């Protein structure tokens, strides 16, 4: 939903970042407003996942230039947990397994960390149980999921649904979904997409990072960006994804190279 | 006061012999007439005559150096002044009426509370039970593995012993708690708690042993607990070591299991300057089940060593063992886990896992899982890991709003609770959970 007057949620300017001394992001620009759904597509190694991790503050990535503003606030100065409580949520491509920590405890601790950051009282175990059980329907998860260790022994689809459950619970202003569709069967994809669609509203924004156009049949983006060599080289509407699906990436890259040399 | 050069002289073999003899004499002087037990004591004394105080040259003590003890002149305990206020917080609500309090190695009649036990169950000081002494010949100091220097040292000179004895088919629902309190006195103390548990055929009990001290004074605890499970008996056992920061704690837990019996043990160690736990389980019949779980959480310059042995000699044995250590600061954790499967122990199903979590660059772990399998039709698995907290796991938690220190605490807690969750006494489990959650 595009509304040019809505609040700017994310503004990325000239972002450069390295990992182990190798530059991966090479001058990335992106602006995301409230109510918008963006898709970032691109070949392997184009820097898509790096971008998502830099936004969330992964310590392995070093930002060497540029800026990231979230609702007008400088993100680069914030620790990862402060970015999270400010409203940035990354759904992981490979959610971690944490043996010994029950999903229920993990979700409650995370939820209370958000409440504390907002200056609110922590919620007790019983109130939390009511709250979380309500959210389970959204991702069609059984209540028994809550008492298993976080992601331990979960199937790929279950892990991704668990990520969306966390998104539903934490109600972030900006959700970045890093290849949440990869490896999902069509039923799980529909469930995940259905959850995201229900959570998207006029006050928040979603950035989908994906290889595949198929996801965009279920979550319709307002903008489609193509990343190559550490930056966004072209931006279009949802039709761009369909073109990429049928024609591949080569023509975009060629147009970009022609434009650069021209 | 010993100087540095004195210490190096003491380390010679002769001095080690002399030091052990001194400990034997100190221990023997503490034996009361009511517990003369001449036969077992003299057998232990002859064995000790041939022994010396262990050094790191012995394989069993390779990673645990006791030489700091050689400079210390330990003395036997005198009268103690432990009051209810000192130990009230150690009592567990579940064990009310089944609590033995042992102060510096002697059962305290004033502090023990034993009014909640069913008729026929014997729990108390062995000194108060002369009628049992004739039945001790097959039990006291009779387990395999008694030919070991510290076990024999305890046998030769324990000043008192706790006895827990259940007759055939008696099931005691109330968990029995033994609180061993170390209280500092003027001299460095040498204390030898002793416990004998006999679960006759078909009986069942839950036992909590809690070694506790809160002083930083130099102290030596040399504890031995023998557990006998007759046919079809069941014991669930928790052994908690929370001794003071100046304590050398050497403990032996030896379990002998007759056919169809089941032993489930949890040993958790947090305290002491140096702690060594020898945990030995001997099968004496078919189809025994042994499940042992260990946790050590140590920091600063603490040293904790667990040596375990499960010796299988009959068919259809089941063994499950998991030992975990959390090691911070300059602490040093040692695990040596032997599972010995003899020729006759066909169809054994054994699994052993040792996991270590290093929290600092200066912490150290030595681990040696040892499967010795002679039988040819068995299922045995073992593994050992040493790792640090995974930065990806911490980042995942951070990305959900949990700060890095909180994420670390959560991961350490989760690591420990996989062991502590095996403790069936709820109040004990939750107290240790609290201890772990405030640990770092």
- The pLDDT score that the predictor gives to residue B1 is 46
Token code pair at residue B215: 């002083």
DSSP structure class, residue A13: E
Please compute the mean of the pLDDT values over residues B42-63 and round it to a whole number: 95
ipTM of the complex: 0.95
* Secondary structure in 3-state letters for B83-146: CHHHHHHHCCHHHCCCEEEEECCEECCCCCECCCCCCCCEEEEHHHCHHHHHHHHHCCCCCCCC
A90 chain-B contacts, CB cut-off 8 A: 399
C-alpha A147: how far from chain center: 26
Measured CA angle at B302 (ends B299, B305), to 5 deg = 110
**Residue of chain A whose alpha carbon sits nearest to that of B421:** A100
CB atoms closer than 10 angstroms to residue A9: 24
CB atoms closer than 10 angstroms to residue B279: 23
Within 8 A by CB and 6+ apart from B401, the residues are A81, A84, A85, A110, A113, A114, A117, A170
CA distance B258 to B286: 7
Burial class (CB in 10 A: 0-12, 13-18, 19+), A25: buried
**Residue of chain B whose alpha carbon sits nearest to that of A92:** B396
Instruction: State how far residue A108 is from chain B, nearest Cα, in angstroms.
Output: 11
Contact B257, B281 (CB under 8 A): yes
pLDDT at B423 > cutoff 50: yes
**Domains of chain A, earliest start first:** 8-96+172-261 (3.40.50.300)
pLDDT at B306 > cutoff 70: yes
Q: How many helices (H) and strands (E) does chain A have?
A: 9, 12
B395 chain-A contacts, CB cut-off 8 A: 56, 58-59, 80
Residues in chain A whose Cβ is within 8 Å of chain B: 56-60, 79-81, 83-85, 89-90, 92, 95-96, 98-101, 106, 109-110, 113-114, 117, 149, 166, 170
**Residue of chain B whose alpha carbon sits nearest to that of A97:** B393
Helix (H) or strand (E) holding B367: strand B364-373
pLDDT at B225 > cutoff 80: yes
CB atoms closer than 10 angstroms to residue B39: 12
Length of chain A in residues, anyone? 262
Which of B392, B400, B413 is closest, CB to CB, to A84? B400
pLDDT at B301 > cutoff 60: yes
Q: How does residue B61 score in pLDDT terms, banded at 50, 70 and 90?
A: very high
Instruction: State how far residue A249 is from chain B, nearest Cα, in angstroms.
Output: 32
pLDDT, one tens digit per residue, over B3-17 is: 555 555 446 888 999
- The pLDDT score that the predictor gives to residue B247 is 97
Contact B153, B24 (CB under 8 A): yes
Question: A15 by DSSP, 3-state: which?
Answer: strand
pLDDT at B240 > cutoff 70: yes
% pLDDT > 90, chain B: 88
Which of A85, A95, A101 is closest, CB to CB, to B414? A101
Write out the DSSP string of A62-101. Answer: EEEEEEEEETTEESTTS-HHHHHHHTEEEE-SSPPPEEEE
Within 8 A by CB and 6+ apart from B138, the residues are none
Nearest CA-CA partner of B218 in B13, B1, B29: B1
Helix (H) or strand (E) holding A99: strand A98-102
Q: Which residue in A98, A112, A117, A147 has the most chain B C-beta atoms within 10 A of its own C-beta, making it the best mutation to test that interface? A: A98
**Residue of chain A whose alpha carbon sits nearest to that of B410:** A101
Contact A176, A207 (CB under 8 A): yes
pLDDT, one tens digit per residue, over A28-68 is: 999 999 999 999 999 889 999 999 999 999 999 999 999 99
Greatest Cα-to-Cα distance within chain B, rounded to the nearest angstrom = 67
Which of B397, B402, B418 is closest, CB to CB, to A99? B418
Token code pair at residue A57: 């503050």
Q: How far apart are the first and last CA of chain B?
A: 36
Token code pair at residue B11: 């380390």
In chain B, where the domains are located: 4-285, 389-440
CA distance B183 to B118: 31
Nearest CA-CA partner of B351 in B292, B405, B276, B412: B292
Question: A193 by DSSP, 3-state: which?
Answer: helix
Intervals of chain A under pLDDT 70: 260-262
Contact A3, A67 (CB under 8 A): no
Nearest CA-CA partner of B386 in B409, B352, B353, B411: B353
Beta carbons of A84 and B403 less than 8 Å apart: no
Please give the mean pLDDT across all residues of chain B: 94
Specify the residue for token string 């052990």. Answer: B20
Helix (H) or strand (E) holding B335: strand B332-341
- The pLDDT score that the predictor gives to residue B11 is 60
pLDDT at B171 > cutoff 60: yes
Q: How do beta strands B318-327 and A98-102 pair?
A: unpaired
Beta carbons of B400 and A113 less than 8 Å apart: yes
Q: Residue A23, CB half-sphere, CA atoms under 13 Å: how many?
A: 11
Instruction: State how far residue A186 is from chain B, nearest Cα, in angstroms.
Output: 26
Contact B53, B17 (CB under 8 A): yes
**Residue of chain B whose alpha carbon sits nearest to that of A85:** B401
Alpha-carbon distances, residue B203 vs B57, B74, B122, B168 (angstroms): 43, 40, 13, 6
CA distance B391 to B405: 12
Nearest CA-CA partner of A35 in A11, A12, A8, A56: A8
Beta carbons of B399 and A90 less than 8 Å apart: yes
Which of B395, B410, B417 is closest, CB to CB, to A80? B395
Token code pair at residue A96: 């971690």
């Amino acid at each position: 939903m595009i509304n040019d007057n809505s609040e700017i949620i994310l503004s990325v300017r000239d972002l450069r970042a390295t990992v182990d001394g190798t530059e991966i992001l090479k001058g990335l620009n992106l602006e995301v407003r409230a109510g918008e759904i963006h898709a970032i597509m691109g070949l392997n190694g184009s820097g898509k996942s790096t971008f998502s991790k830099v936004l969330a503050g992964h310590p392995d990535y070093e930002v060497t230039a540029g800026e990231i503003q979230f609702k007008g606030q400088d993100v680069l100065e914030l620790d990862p947990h402060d970015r999270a409580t400010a409203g940035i949520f990354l759904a992981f491509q490979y959610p971690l397994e944490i043996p010994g920590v029950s999903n229920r405890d993990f979700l409650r601790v995370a939820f209370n960390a958000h409440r504390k950051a907002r200056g609110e009282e922590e919620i007790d175990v019983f109130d939390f149980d009511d709250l979380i059980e309500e959210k389970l329907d959204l991702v069609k998860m059984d209540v028994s999921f809550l008492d298993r260790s976080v992601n331990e022994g979960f199937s790929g689809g279950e892990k991704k649904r668990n990520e969306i459950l966390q998104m539903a619970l934490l109600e972030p202003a900006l959700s970045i979904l890093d290849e949440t569709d990869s490896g999902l069967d069509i039923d799980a994809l529909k469930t995940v997409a259905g959850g995201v669609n229900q959570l998207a509203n006029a006050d928040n924004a979603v950035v989908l990072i994906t290889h595949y156009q198929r996801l965009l049949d279920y979550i319709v983006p307002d903008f489609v960006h193509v990343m190559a060599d550490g930056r966004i080289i072209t931006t279009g509407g949802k039709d761009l994804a369909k073109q990429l699906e049928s024609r591949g990436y080569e023509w975009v890259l060629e147009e970009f190279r022609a434009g650069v040399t021209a | 006061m010993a100087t540095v050069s004195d210490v190096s002289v003491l380390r010679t073999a002769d001095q080690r012999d002399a030091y052990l003899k001194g400990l034997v004499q100190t221990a023997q002087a503490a034996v009361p007439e009511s517990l003369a037990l001449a036969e077992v004591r003299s057998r232990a004394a002859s064995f000790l005559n041939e022994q010396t105080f262990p050094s790191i040259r012995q394989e069993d003590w390779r990673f645990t150096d006791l030489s700091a003890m050689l400079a210390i002149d330990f003395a036997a305990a005198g009268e103690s002044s432990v009051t209810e206020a000192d130990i009230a917080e150690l009592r567990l609500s579940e064990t009310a009426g089944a609590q033995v309090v042992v102060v510096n190695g002697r059962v305290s009649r004033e502090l023990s509370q034993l009014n909640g036990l069913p008729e026929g169950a014997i729990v108390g000081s062995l000194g108060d039970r002369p009628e049992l002494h004739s039945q001790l010949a097959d039990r006291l100091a009779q387990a395999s593995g008694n030919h070991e220097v510290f076990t024999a040292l305890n046998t030769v000179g324990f000043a008192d012993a706790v006895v827990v004895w259940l007759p055939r088919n008696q099931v005691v629902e109330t968990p029995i708690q033994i609180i061993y309190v170390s209280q500092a006195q003027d001299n460095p103390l040498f204390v030898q708690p002793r416990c004998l548990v006999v679960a006759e055929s078909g009986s069942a009990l839950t036992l909590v042993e809690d070694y506790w001290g809160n002083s930083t004074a130099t102290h030596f605890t040399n504890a031995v607990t023998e557990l006998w499970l007759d046919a079809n008996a069941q014991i669930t056992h928790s052994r908690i070591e929370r001794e003071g920061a100046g304590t050398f704690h050497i403990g032996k837990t030896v379990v002998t299991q007759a056919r169809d019996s089941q032993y489930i043990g949890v040993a958790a160690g947090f305290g002491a300057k140096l702690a060594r736990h020898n945990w030995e389980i001997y099968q004496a019949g078919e189809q025994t089940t042994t499940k042992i779980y260990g946790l050590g959480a140590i920091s600063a310059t603490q040293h904790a060593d667990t040596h375990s042995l499960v010796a299988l000699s009959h068919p259809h044995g089941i063994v499950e063992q998991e030992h975990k250590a959390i090691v911070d600061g300059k602490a040093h954790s040692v695990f040596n886990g032997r599972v010995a499967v003899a020729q006759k122990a066909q169809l054994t199903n054994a699994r052993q896992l040792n996991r270590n979590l290093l929290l600092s660059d200066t912490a150290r772990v030595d681990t040696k899982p040892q499967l010795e399998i002679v039988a040819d039709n068995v299922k045995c698995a073992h593994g050992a890991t040493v790792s640090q907290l995974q930065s990806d796991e911490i980042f995942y938690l951070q990305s959900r709003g949990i700060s890095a220190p909180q994420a670390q605490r959560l991961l350490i807690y989760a690591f420990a609770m996989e062991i502590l969750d095996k403790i069936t006494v709820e109040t004990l489990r939750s107290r240790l959970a609290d201890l772990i959650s405030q640990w770092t």
